[in-house]
């Protein structure tokens, strides 16, 4: 039952079409969207829960990748890189 309600919500969108909105989401997240379109989009999201969820999870995806990719360079890789360069660059 819950599934049907959510699916209907997606299907019954009014105003700006969901599909059209999806195409502009990256520009919206990056603050590159024209202010008028931005307003339309926010109005749409206020009435369309699936689109709101989509935006939230899209933003979260980006921040999770950023966070998960912040590991430091392994010390031994640093040492081997500098040894390699010293050996190969001197006398280049």
Partner 1 sequence: MINLSDQSLIEKVRGGDYQAFEFLVTRYEAKVYRLAIRMLRNPQDAEDALQETFLQVFRGLPGFEGRSQFSTWLFRLATNVCLMRIRHRETEPSKLLPLEDYLPKLEEGEGPPMVDWADRPEDALLSKESREQMMGALDKLPPEYRAVFILRDIEGFSNAETGESLGISIAAVKSRLHRARLALRGMLSEYYQRKQDFGGFETRLED
The binding site for partner 1 (CB under 8 A) comprises 2-3, 6-8, 10-11, 18-19, 22-23, 25-27, 49-50, 53-54, 56-62, 64-69, 71-73, 77-78, 80-82, 84-86, 88-90, 92
d(CA 67, CA 89): 34
Decide whether 36 or 76 has the Cβ nearer to partner 1: 76
Q: How near is the Cβ of 7 to partner 1 at its closest, in Å? A: 6
DSSP per-residue codes, 29-54: HTT-S-HHHHHHHHHHHHH-HHHHHH
- The rounded Cα 16 to chain-centroid distance in angstroms is 21
């Amino acid at each position: 039952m819950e599934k049907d309600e959510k699916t209907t919500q997606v299907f019954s969108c009014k105003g700006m079409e969901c599909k059209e909105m999806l195409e502009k989401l990256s520009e919206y997240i990056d603050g590159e969207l024209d202010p008028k379109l931005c307003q339309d989009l926010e109005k749409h999201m206020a009435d369309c829960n699936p689109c709101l969820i989509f935006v939230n999870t899209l933003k979260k995806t980006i921040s999770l990748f950023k966070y998960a990719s912040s590991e430091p360079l392994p010390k031994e890789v640093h040492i081997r890189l500098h040894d390699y360069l010293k050996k190969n660059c001197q006398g280049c």
